[in-house]
Amino acid sequence: MNEPANPKQATPEALYCATCAVEVTDPLTCGDCSAVICRVCGTPLESAADLGMG
């Protein structure tokens, strides 16, 4: 089979920290519960799409 030379990459969803009030580009993932959290303050992150932003 022929595969495309440049397969489409899935773009990561934009995440937002309500405590820091910034978009987070380098979140942490909890090893116990798989929650995605802010690297700076530890707040669970929200999807910017869920907040009506971005």
Q: Which domain holds residue 22?
A: 15-47
- Can you give the pLDDT at residue 49? 75
CA 15 from chain center: how many Å?
Answer: 4
DSSP string, 5-22: SSPPPPPPPPEEETTTTE
Q: Tell whether 26 is covered by a domain.
A: yes
Q: Tell whether 20 is covered by a domain.
A: yes
Q: Tell whether 3 is covered by a domain.
A: no
Q: Tell whether 10 is covered by a domain.
A: no
Confidence of residue 50 (pLDDT cuts 50, 70, 90): confident
Q: Tell whether 5 is covered by a domain.
A: no
Question: pTM of the full predicted structure?
Answer: 0.65
Start-to-end C-alpha separation, the chain: 38
CA dist list (Å): 31 to 4, 16, 34, 37: 35, 20, 6, 11
Q: Tell whether 6 is covered by a domain.
A: no
Number of domains in the chain: 1
- How many helices (H) and strands (E) in the chain? 0, 5
Structure confidence by residue, pLDDT tens digits, 16-30: 999 999 999 999 999
